[in-house]
Chains A and B, each alone.
Chain A
Amino acid sequence: MTGASGEPIIIMRDVHKWFGEFHVLKGINLEVGKSQKVVVCGPSGSGKSTMIRCINRLEEHQRGEIIVDGIELTSDVKNVEAIRREVGMVFQSFNLFPHLTVLENLILAPMWVRRTPRKEAEELAMSLLERVKIPEQAHKYPGQLSGGQQQRVAIARALCMKPKIMLFDEPTSALDPEMVKEVLDVMIELANEGMTMVVVTHEMGFAKSVADFVVFMDDGEIVEVAPPSVFFTSPKSDRTKLFLSQILEH
């Protein structure tokens, strides 16, 4: 199953995962090319979060193979850490470090994982905070920011590692409606700069304007992969049609 063109940077082949008895991922096949933007959608419990969490091994897959940037994900810690350095992740609940200031949140990983000197890391961090439009918050603590600001800090924190791939796990689901746009704007800008992105989201507007292709998942399987123009106008499967009618109704 593909939608990818060019050289794939993420390859998933026949990936299976169980939580105990529960079969969460039932043979996922997916290829994502460099600079491609993939939006993953589907009903809750369909395994979309689990799937993208497998890409940086926050979840272990039990069968099949996942190759990221030419490195296969195995239980080898060295491989896993090498991949995590190249893959940034943004979470639904931000997960900023509350005991550190915004700036400290940003420079932590570059300093400790990449061994970047503090001064250089701070310069990079400030330029990224400019990019997400909150440089004035650098010395505040995460708890003093709004949800939208926190999520933008989280994006900047991931970008500080200069990742080749960015994963977004429902980045706007925990936000108040009026803050969704500021986060999506940052993501759209990032997409326009050519970042490889895999985004789990229900923001269909974002999918239409940014995605190279949309992946629809249901019950642990990929049901449909199509460019947004096709996906939203003439979906093939009935399950996709049902899902789209439910989320586009209101």
Chain B
Amino acid sequence: MAVQERASAAAAVQPPVTERITVLAWLKHNLFSTWYNSLLTILVGYLLYLVLVPVFRWAVLDATVSGDSKEACDFAGACWTLVKVRFGQYVYGLYPEDQRWRVNLALAIAAVAMVPLFLERFRHRLTYAVGLVLVYPLVGYTLFYGGWLGLPVVETPRWGGLFLTLVIAGVGITASFPLGILLALGRRSEMPVIRSLCVAFIELVRGVPLVTILFMASVMLPLFLPAGVNFDKLMRALVGVALFSAAYMAEVVRGGLQAIPKGQYEAAMALGLGYWQMTGLIVLPQALRLVIPGIVNTFIGLFKDTSLVTIIGLFDLLGMAKLIVTDPRWLGLAAESYIFAAFGFWIFCYAMSRYSQHVERRLSAGERR
């Protein structure tokens, strides 16, 4: 009897019916539920109107794209003609126009070579990634710099624009990630010398602004080097940026390492795994996925910090934006130029953010705890 009753009761319990929400009902529920909410809605709506409408008119409705000089613009709205005419410089900086195909080719090779990394069925992704990181810089450098295979040399001071931003950010990210992991592991090492060295490096580098490091690299380093020894300015900036973000990366990774329970280490040790096997197979895979948001945060910070290289005379995307508006023919168009540069940065940073969210979802899909 009792069993039957329970069974029928269970059958009677239905999942709640999801109401079909109309636009009007949604508005009433979310925006006009009480008199003060209605008031706030109207107020905020009015403020948005005050701000967004003029911006939209300036940037889109009244904007000029036609023509090929400042005279084509009427200054009622934005003068995107500047961006159109100088687009090549935003992207390639002062790289010779007839050689730009080399940059395109190198970036295309990078894009194609990275495809296997996104194939989830591909088993040896890590090995492939390490190989790519080791081999690609040679390909890239050969194409960018030239002086080989009949390619004319393009000195690094002529590299610039978005291209330079990508070079610095790309090198910075690929170098600082493994370096940061090693520093984080070193900081938790039981060997006092290694631990102290790592702590000292991290605290020192994290304690000074990136600008300082770039200045040191470009101005002071040559003073200490023997005469005749001269590193390329870009190379020094790259090392500076990579070391700087490695210190931040190390602290992010350390956060992840601390979240791994002691039992995981013990289980790995009890199975006879050595230190590097335990670290590579058990600890890091768990620790790194815990701190994906922090890692991507550091990458995005690094990407934007590349614009600081302008102060040592390299022209990245922002540097080019600044340089272009100092041209007397285009004076007074700073807003357009900077907005375009900001848009360029935003595209890449937002892409990184979206990709990291995708990775997080994929990794947590199988592993519900």
Contacts and interface: CB of A to CB of B under 8 A. Distances in A.
Interface in A168-215: none
Given A91-B267, A93-B263, A98 B272 contact: no
Contacts of A39: none
B82 to A, nearest CB: 51
B282 interface: yes
A114 B264 CA distance: 20
A81 B274 contact: yes
Given A98-B286, A143-B367, A112 B273 contact: yes
Interface in A102-118: 108-109, 112-113
A68 interface: no
A109 B263 contact: no
Given A112-B281, A141-B367, A143-B367, A81 B272 contact: yes
A113 B270 contact: no
Interface residues of B, number: 22
Interface string B242-267: 00000000000000000001011011
Nearest to B289: A99
A157 to B, nearest CB: 7
B271 A161 contact: yes
Interface in A67-89: 77, 81, 84-85, 87-89
Nearest to A112: B277
B272 A113 contact: yes
A144 interface: yes
Contacts of A108: 271, 281
B368 A99 contact: no
B289 A95 contact: no
A247 interface: no
Contacts of B266: 58, 91, 95
A56 interface: yes
A161 B289 contact: no
Contact of A89 (B270, B282, B285, B368): B270
B367 A95 contact: no
Contact of B269 (A84, A101, A112, A161): A84
A30 interface: no
Nearest to A93: B263
Given A95-B263, A97-B264, A112-B277, A88 B270 contact: yes
B124 interface: no
Contacts of B228: none
A139 B165 CA distance: 44
B267 A95 contact: yes
A96 interface: yes
B264 A95 contact: yes
Contact of A84 (B261, B264, B271, B366): B271
A42 B60 CA distance: 80
A96 B369 CA distance: 12
Interface string A34-78: 000000000000000000000010100000000000000000010
Given A95-B264, A99-B286, A84 B369 contact: no
A102 to B, nearest CB: 12
Contacts of B263: 91, 93, 95
B121 to A, nearest CB: 16
A109 B274 CA distance: 10
A98 to B, nearest CB: 6
Contacts of B274: 77, 81
A106 B266 CA distance: 16
A96 B368 contact: no
A72 B367 CA distance: 40
Nearest to A113: B272
Interface string B278-295: 000110011001000000
Contacts of A89: 267, 270
Interface in B194-242: none
Contacts of B366: 101, 141
A104 B129 CA distance: 22
A72 to B, nearest CB: 17
Interface string A147-172: 00000000001100100000000000
A195 to B, nearest CB: 16
A99 B285 contact: yes
A99 B264 CA distance: 11
A81 B274 CA distance: 7
Contacts of B273: 109, 112-113
Given A56-B270, A93-B263, A141-B367, 12 more contacts: A84-B269, A84-B271, A89-B270, A91-B266, A95-B266, A97-B264, A97-B282, A99-B367, A109-B271, A109-B272, A113-B272, A157-B271
Closest A-B pairs by Cβ, 9 of them:
A95-B267, A109-B271, A143-B369, A95-B263, A89-B270, A84-B272, A85-B272, A113-B272, A141-B367
29 contacts: A58-B269, A77-B274, A81-B272, A84-B270, A84-B271, A84-B272, A85-B272, A87-B270, A89-B267, A91-B266, A91-B270, A93-B263, A95-B263, A95-B266, A96-B267, A98-B369, A99-B285, A99-B289, A99-B367, A109-B272, A112-B277, A113-B272, A141-B366, A141-B367, A141-B368, A143-B367, A157-B271, A158-B270, A158-B271
Interface of A: 56, 58, 77, 81, 84-85, 87-89, 91, 93, 95-99, 101, 108-109, 112-113, 141, 143-144, 157-158, 161
